Amino acid sequence: MFSMDSTVYVRLYEELNDYLPEEKRKRTFSLSLKGSATVEEAIYLLGVPPEEVDLVLVNGESVPFSHIAQDDDRISIYPIFESLDVSAVTMLRDESLLAIKLGKEAKDLSTKKSTLKGDINGQKKD
């Protein structure tokens, strides 16, 4: 199977710009990809951890990490939405990153509360 290199046009939003050199922040720039690269591979190539990405749009459509980038695609990469639930539109994972983060924080808080309660009752837990 013959696979061509491609050039895509990428824009990162909000804090994801911190991973980019100054001249590429808050603007669309071209990115050359070798062969049949996925959106996730493009994100890694930019130095962005995929776990920081909550939504990827290619030509205005939500796509999964496994989406194969095509020549001239316009790729928009968004971080965790803190006040907007994008779980109905994102195709990256079953649950939004905010929901995952809040669930983990609630579990951590519950564990800490349980540990403190044991300490207060003189029943220190290991």
**Residue 91: inside a domain:** yes
Rounded to an integer, the average pLDDT of 102-116 is 62
Rounded to an integer, the average pLDDT of 84-92 is 67
**Residue 45: inside a domain:** yes
**Residue 113: inside a domain:** yes
Kindly report the average pLDDT of the chain as a whole number.
82
CB count, 10 Å around CB of 80? 20
Q: Which pLDDT score is estimated for 80?
A: 85
Give residue 73's pLDDT band: very low, low, confident or very high (50, 70, 90): very high
**Residue 125: inside a domain:** no
Report the number of distinct structural domains present in the chain: 1
Dihedral sign from CA coordinates of 19, 22, 25, 27: negative
Rounded to an integer, the average pLDDT of 56-71 is 95
**Residue 1: inside a domain:** no
Domain with 53 in it: what CATH number?
3.10.20.30
Q: Angle at Cα 48 formed by Cα 83 and Cα 72, nearest 5°?
A: 95
Sequence-separated contacts (24+) of 57-62 with Cβ below 8 Å = 62/89, 62/90, 62/91
Query: Would the pTM of this model clear 0.85, i.e. be above it?
Result: no
**Residue 36: inside a domain:** yes
Q: Which pLDDT score is estimated for 99?
A: 58
Q: Which pLDDT score is estimated for 124?
A: 53
**Residue 126: inside a domain:** no
Rounded to an integer, the average pLDDT of 81-89 is 70
Q: Which domain holds residue 81?
A: 6-120
**Residue 93: inside a domain:** yes
Residue 28 has pLDDT above 70, yes or no: yes
**Structure token pair of residue 67:** 């989406």
